[in-house]
Structure 1
Amino acid sequence: MKIAGRILILLTSFLFFQKIFSQDIHSEKIDSYINYIKKNNLDIGSISIFRHGKEVYFNSFGKIENQKFHNSTAYQVGSITKLFTAVLIFKLIEENKISLNDKLSRYFPTIKNSDNITIKNLLEHSSGLNNYVKKNEKIIWLKEPRTDREIMEEIVNQRILFSPNENVLYSNSGYYLLGKIIEKEFNKNYGQVLKDQITQPFKLSETKSAYENPKHIAGSYIFDDQTWHTAQDFYFKNIIGVGDISSNTQNLNTFINALFNHKVLLKETIDIMKPFIGKETYGRGLMTFNFHSVNFYGNTGGTYGTNTILLFDEQTETSIALIINGERYPRNEFINDIVDIIYNNNLKFPENTN
């Protein structure tokens, strides 16, 4: 009886702890942390936390004259776009219109090594394609409007970095081509496909492709001479499917929760998208992250001034969306501190405030 009683007590304590954890994210400590960020003018942006598909915390921060940031503020989210692009590709795969093993030459035969590069290679950055965002591997050239022809010529002319599956190296060129494959297969522009397949069905009203010409998007800022200045960012129609999407923190959390609850794609498909924890950083649209021994899936994004991270923890069904459009204290350190509060009840203020 004593042993059974101890087991019952332990089980009850565990269930009680689980119940408390499911409800309490230590929001007062998160408030203190965000207030420190605001007081010291360290970053500008917004954060949203979901638990079991519902928002349990939101805050915005930043000191910009005549600018207010709130829960409907939309930002450029950079390469979080790639997660949406990967989802659209997997929708085509689920509909048996394409396969992971289809060769790039089916669509773009003039690209070097296209007979050997597969759609899977493009998704997981194992294609060996270069990075068209840097012209001739060094010139910043996409802050001004460029034509599709100019961009394709740059991709075709760039050198191949390695043979497919030989290595892994992040390639914006690969996702630009995936965006074009989506357009060819759906016979619509990327913005319309995104709207039809994802944003309208899941009521993501603030999530838009640059093709939709979204209005009232928060700008990017850089800190110089003790004040924030507007940064010249991408001309976002140059990076369709790569980094063009604008959204807000709530929409991002809503999307990743729908994704992991298998409302967007099948569970088997999500399993293919995931990286192998401890073996891969990039999966096939999803990345893996570890903060304070907690494993997350998600993605990150960076423009010439805005940095975003979107995380989902399957064990506790916790998701965090952080968008910083003016960064002094780095995004990854910020999110690391937030995870420490949520999971360990440990509040630590940023040390680097220069």
Structure 2
Amino acid sequence: MPAKAPEVSYLNGKAINREKIDDFLDYIARNNQGIGSVSISRNGVQEYHKDFGQQQLKGITYDKDTQYQIGSISKMITAVMLMQLVENGKLKLEEKLSKYYPEIPNAQKITLHQMLNHTSGLGDYVGEEEDNWLFGKAAVGDKAIIAEIKKQGVSFEPGKKTKYSNSAYFLLSRILERLNNKPYNILLKENITDKAGMKHTFSVLDQPKNVFKSYKFNGKNWEEVRDFNFRNCIGLGDIVSTTEDMNTFMNALFSGSFIKKETLDMMISNKEEKVFGTGIMKVPFYNITAYGHGGDTAGSHSILSYEPVDKLSFAITINGENMRHNDLYVGVLNLLYGRDYQYPSFDTEKPETDLKKYEGEYETKEIPIPLTVFSKDGSLFAQGKGQPEFPLKKMEKNKYQFEQAGIIILFLPESKQMELTQNGKTFLLTKK
């Protein structure tokens, strides 16, 4: 039997170039393009940390322990706690939802595993941002949320498609509480934060005080953004943390502090065509594949990932967005891995025109996640449900690319279709 080829280190043992990343983030701050925090660790040791842009805010106080809203990264933490119950024999992934919520449509067919990997067919009770009913000052309560989940029903039979579902994770979080007979914040403390020494990570139920608000730039100043009432998304989007604590979580997860290696391997999606695993997503960057989760609220954006070969954990959260958050992520990653990277020019960028003809949701049976194309500030973007948006750069007429992931898209507006090419494979997607 031939020997297994050694895995390639992407950093080749080199130190992180702190000066280059510092310079880029200072450039972003000077140009009023972003506010946030970055932390990078290797082998469980933090090698880089920087808070940037906070000086642009007037009349606010912050310190190194100030937390950020991390949105749906909360789902990955909830999934880990559910897998702890699986290991302890208190929960089985193939159990049906009907055991806990028989009143939910299709509950007798939907497994907990399908809820974890977004193949349940359940909807998204949170809704779209412009008509979101969860912004109120008072929490609406579980009864109202479950009523909305029932009202939305299912969009496909379980296991047939992949569609990101906040509703599934709301129900999973309540199941977690029911089986432990404890509220979510206590479970988070006992099973995650105390075990890993995460002193600055809390659920909204803990009523954390030292938390950054979210901001947007109005052309002259940064102004506060109205964000969710996080009591309406406990266990799927309510956790606050620091980037350093986020990396502590990933290092503890991949070193076996929370669950066994076999369990973690099962949670990770290793199939080429799949993005979602069991609570953990693929986070690709060129030929590098890391694992983790993204998180977005109405005003804050985060990404947390772990690359197993270099044992590199990367956490970034942005609570003041002017430059698109995904572009900022990509800029830092390019500098981290020593790739050529040209800083964006904020003075000379001109918006493109006639992008509406490309907009819409495209799908094909060959790809499990529909792809939504939209324009913003004169630029074109694409996004799979539950994944970070990514920019599309024009190559020629009707042809765009996202170079970092090797994606080329040829739009066919007359037939309302697109050809998506990646890794030598071409798929034909049709607009819904």
Instruction: Specify whether residues 277 and 318 from structure 1 end up closer, same or farther in structure 2 by C-alpha distance, changes over 3 A only.
Output: farther
Instruction: Specify whether residues 118 and 228 from structure 1 end up closer, same or farther in structure 2 by C-alpha distance, changes over 3 A only.
Output: same
**Residue 132 of structure 1 corresponds to which residue in structure 2?**
125
Runs (5+) with no aligned partner, structure 2: 1-5, 350-432
Match for residue 260 of structure 2 among 266, 287, 292: 266
Aligned-partner Cα distance in 1 for 2:67–2:220: 26
Aligned partner of 1:51: which letter? R
Aligned-partner Cα distance in 1 for 2:181–2:82: 14
Instruction: Please state how far the C-alpha of 1:226 moved relative to its aligned partner.
Output: 2.4
Between stretches 284-293 and 316-325, larger displacement belongs to 284-293
For these two proteins, the number of residue pairs brought into alignment is 338
Judge conservation of contact 1:124–1:284 (CA < 8 Å) in 2: yes
Judge conservation of contact 1:59–1:70 (CA < 8 Å) in 2: no
Aligned-partner Cα distance in 1 for 2:222–2:76: 30
Equivalent residue of 2:302, what SS?
A: strand
Equivalent residue of 1:310, what SS?
A: strand
1:1-354 alignment to 2 at 5 Å?
Answer: 21-62=12-53, 63-67=56-60, 69-134=62-127, 139-144=131-136, 145-352=139-346
Judge conservation of contact 1:33–1:349 (CA < 8 Å) in 2: yes
Instruction: Please state how far the C-alpha of 1:201 moved relative to its aligned partner.
Output: 1.6
Indicate the RMSD between aligned Cα atoms, in angstroms. Answer: 2.0
Equivalent residue of 1:221, what SS?
A: strand
> Does 1 or 2 have the higher relative contact order (CA < 8 Å, sep 6+)?
1
Instruction: Specify whether residues 128 and 146 from structure 1 end up closer, same or farther in structure 2 by C-alpha distance, changes over 3 A only.
Output: same
Judge conservation of contact 1:104–1:118 (CA < 8 Å) in 2: yes
Question: TM-score of the superposition, structure 1-length normalised?
Answer: 0.91
Judge conservation of contact 1:46–1:70 (CA < 8 Å) in 2: no
Equivalent residue of 1:22, what SS?
A: coil
Instruction: Please state how far the C-alpha of 1:202 moved relative to its aligned partner.
Output: 1.2
Between stretches 64-73 and 256-265, larger displacement belongs to 64-73
Aligned-partner Cα distance in 1 for 2:265–2:11: 29
Aligned partner of 1:49: which letter? I
Instruction: Specify whether residues 270 and 151 from structure 1 end up closer, same or farther in structure 2 by C-alpha distance, changes over 3 A only.
Output: same
Equivalent residue of 1:200, what SS?
A: helix
Aligned partner of 1:139: which letter? D
**Structure with the higher fraction of residues in helix conformation:** 1
Instruction: Please state how far the C-alpha of 1:48 moved relative to its aligned partner.
Output: 0.4
Any idea what the Cα deviations from partners look like across 1:111-146, whole Å, max 9, x if unmatched? Answer: 0000000010110000000110028x9731101121
Any idea what the Cα deviations from partners look like across 1:237-264, whole Å, max 9, x if unmatched? Answer: 1001110000000000000011011111
Aligned-partner Cα distance in 2 for 1:342–1:139: 38
Any idea what the Cα deviations from partners look like across 1:254-307, whole Å, max 9, x if unmatched? Answer: 000110111111000111111125211111111002113211101000000000
Judge conservation of contact 1:45–1:69 (CA < 8 Å) in 2: no
Aligned-partner Cα distance in 2 for 1:254–1:50: 9
Instruction: Please state how far the C-alpha of 1:351 moved relative to its aligned partner.
Output: 3.6
Aligned partner of 1:143: which letter? F
Equivalent residue of 2:41, what SS?
A: strand
Aligned-partner Cα distance in 1 for 2:291–2:270: 10
Judge conservation of contact 2:9–2:310 (CA < 8 Å) in 1: no
Question: TM-score of the superposition, structure 2-length normalised?
Answer: 0.75
Aligned partner of 2:174: which letter? K
**Residue 3 of structure 1 corresponds to which residue in structure 2?**
none
Equivalent residue of 2:13, what SS?
A: helix
Aligned-partner Cα distance in 2 for 1:35–1:285: 34
Equivalent residue of 1:204, what SS?
A: coil
Judge conservation of contact 1:22–1:51 (CA < 8 Å) in 2: no
Aligned partner of 1:162: which letter? F
Aligned partner of 2:261: which letter? K
Judge conservation of contact 1:58–1:71 (CA < 8 Å) in 2: no
Aligned partner of 1:141: which letter? W
Q: Percent identity over the alignment?
A: 37
Instruction: Specify whether residues 344 and 202 from structure 1 end up closer, same or farther in structure 2 by C-alpha distance, changes over 3 A only.
Output: same
Aligned partner of 2:83: which letter? F
